[in-house]
Chains A and B, each alone.
Chain A
């Protein structure tokens, strides 16, 4: 028994070398990027909506530019948080008018919940709330190919 354990021990220890080679150097192989992206795709891993702003649920065309309204984000590990935000973005940033004045329906009930007035050049924005679930303007952000605002919301379901 002792001999078996000893042989097994040395064997596992020796196997550690190729395992470490694969773990550290295997990721430089030509097929590695495809495998990694395949893994990400297969597992469905995605960023928390806290970072991405959530999916776009409504698009409003304005000729040279469009407004993208994301879903309200109250994501939690279990259930939902009591407070969250909604991201509204305008694209493309170089085709935006000098002043944006838009009413947004955050909860898709057909009624506007708040109004945003925004000057893209200076990133000055103001918020007028029509709903008790709208808390405040969180900020204005230059994101990839969009100019976005985030508005803090209370979760109407909690």
Chain B
């Protein structure tokens, strides 16, 4: 993975004692993995749980001391994405002996909910009280409340701090030094909204989770329908191709998070939360030198020429912090709506980082810890199950 040489004037560094003090509130939350492992009593789980908890505390501390967000967030985010199949697929084998959903499993509602089902599920659930996804309803409700709370708090920041799949295309987007495809037409940014509209309408009409059944590329790293009919066999061909294209190839070639920015309908839904979310990314136009580095760095096409005039990122901004870290003049910053720009950007960033980190620690970190435990099990016993 390449590390970009970033130089920036007035990097918002923080005194070590202050950073330590401000890291303290994170400790109980960062302890989630070790607490979860302690309850199992398995030493093989406690060790990685402990290590990951320490790592999370250190990373947060480093975020505060260095003033950098993106590189640390990215590492955590990518580790979560890689951890998910290592955590989920063995779990599915433990429960059902397979990660392929047979008709029996769907009729018994044994599919696993994920937040991406929201678009398909919401309309029939609200209008008719019917859940069109074949998963345990209580699990879906848990996801729903976590999702709605997180989305109200950090908006589309979910896509860079909470999403269990987005780290995959972030990983591939960071592999090359330079992009091969340098220009992507602006109109493709609207494709996720169109997919959202289409799947909401079609899922409501057919009472099937259309996106999950046909379009989700991340079935490669989770579960998928067994090929028991012509339709499911065709779907079995489609989703690996979408994964290879949207998650691997295009991010590699463009150095952008193509799946997240130009495909994911859940991301499109999250974009609407940016409109009501208290946090945003702003450009201090007095400091901005119009170098357009932020436009080039943004992995989700959320900054354009208009942003350099208005001083605002677009509604698709995932609050990843890459532009903030890249700006040589310190003109980009996290901002709280209603407050003055560039007055206390550190405070705004800190008030954003806390809930974002809570989201990662509270959920993602436990997944990472479990994944490490399973890898250790594989090494020591020859089986992840």
A and B touch in the complex (CB under 8 A): yes
Contact residues in B for A60 (Cβ distance below 8 Å)? none
B107 touches A75 (CB 8 A): no
Contact residues in B for A39 (Cβ distance below 8 Å)? 141
CA distance in complex: A9, B128 (Å)? 37
Q: Which of B205, B338, B340, B358 contacts A25 (CB 8 A)?
A: B358
A46 touches B103 (CB 8 A): no
CA distance in complex: A23, B153 (Å)? 10
CB 8 Å contact bits of B326-363 with A (1 = contact, 0 = none)? 00000000001111100000011001101100110011
B278 at the interface (CB under 8 A from A): yes
Nearest chain A CB to B280 CB, angstrom units: 11
Q: Which of A1-38 contact B (CB under 8 A)?
A: 2, 5-6, 8-10, 12-14, 16-17, 19-25, 27, 33, 36-37
B46 at the interface (CB under 8 A from A): no
B340 touches A14 (CB 8 A): no
B288 at the interface (CB under 8 A from A): no
CA distance in complex: A37, B142 (Å)? 10
Q: Which of A128-151 contact B (CB under 8 A)?
A: 139, 141-144, 148
Contact residues in A for B348 (Cβ distance below 8 Å)? 13
B153 touches A40 (CB 8 A): no
CB-CB nearest in chain A for B350: A13
CB-CB under 8 A for A51 and B150, given A10-B336, A25-B358: no
B336 touches A24 (CB 8 A): no
B281 at the interface (CB under 8 A from A): no
CA distance in complex: A54, B128 (Å)? 15
Nearest chain B CB to A2 CB, angstrom units: 7
A110 at the interface (CB under 8 A from B): no
CA distance in complex: A37, B137 (Å)? 9
CB-CB nearest in chain B for A27: B142
Main secondary structure of the interface of B (DSSP, over half): helix
CB-CB under 8 A for A17 and B354, given A8-B338, A24-B146, A76-B207: yes
A36 touches B109 (CB 8 A): no
Q: Which of B129, B132, B278 contacts A44 (CB 8 A)?
A: B129
B340 touches A6 (CB 8 A): yes
A58 at the interface (CB under 8 A from B): no
Nearest chain A CB to B123 CB, angstrom units: 7
B29 at the interface (CB under 8 A from A): yes
CB-CB nearest in chain B for A53: B107
Q: Which of B290-342 contact A (CB under 8 A)?
A: 336-340
B132 touches A48 (CB 8 A): yes
Contact residues in A for B336 (Cβ distance below 8 Å)? 9-10, 12-13
B130 touches A47 (CB 8 A): yes
CA distance in complex: A6, B278 (Å)? 11
Q: Which of A10, A17, A141 contacts B358 (CB 8 A)?
A: A17
CA distance in complex: A76, B201 (Å)? 12
CB-CB nearest in chain A for B142: A27
Q: Which of A10, A13, A47 contacts B134 (CB 8 A)?
A: A47
B104 at the interface (CB under 8 A from A): yes
CA distance in complex: A51, B135 (Å)? 10
Q: Most chain-B CB neighbours within 10 Å: which of A13, A75, A76?
A: A13
B108 touches A5 (CB 8 A): no
CB-CB under 8 A for A47 and B359, given A2-B340, A10-B339, A25-B29: no
CB 8 Å contact bits of A40-80 with B (1 = contact, 0 = none)? 10011111111111000000000000000000000111000
A144 touches B339 (CB 8 A): no
Nearest chain B CB to A94 CB, angstrom units: 16
User: Would you list the 3 A-B pairs with minimal beta carbon distance, nearest first?
Assistant: A23-B149, A9-B338, A24-B362
18 more contacts with CB within 8 A, not counting A2-B340, A12-B278, A40-B138, are A10-B347, A16-B278, A17-B355, A19-B153, A21-B362, A22-B149, A23-B149, A37-B138, A40-B137, A45-B131, A48-B207, A50-B132, A52-B107, A75-B207, A76-B207, A77-B123, A77-B128, A141-B107
> Could you list some 14 contacts between A and B, CB below 8 A?
A9-B278, A13-B352, A20-B150, A23-B150, A25-B358, A36-B138, A45-B129, A46-B130, A46-B131, A47-B109, A51-B107, A51-B134, A77-B124, A77-B204
Q: Residues of A at under 8 Å CB distance from B?
A: 2, 5-6, 8-10, 12-14, 16-17, 19-25, 27, 33, 36-37, 39-40, 43-53, 75-77, 139, 141-144, 148
Q: Residues of B at under 8 Å CB distance from A?
A: 29, 32, 103-104, 106-109, 123-125, 127-132, 134, 137-138, 141-142, 145-146, 148-150, 152-154, 204-205, 207-208, 228, 278-279, 336-340, 347-348, 351-352, 354-355, 358-359, 362-363
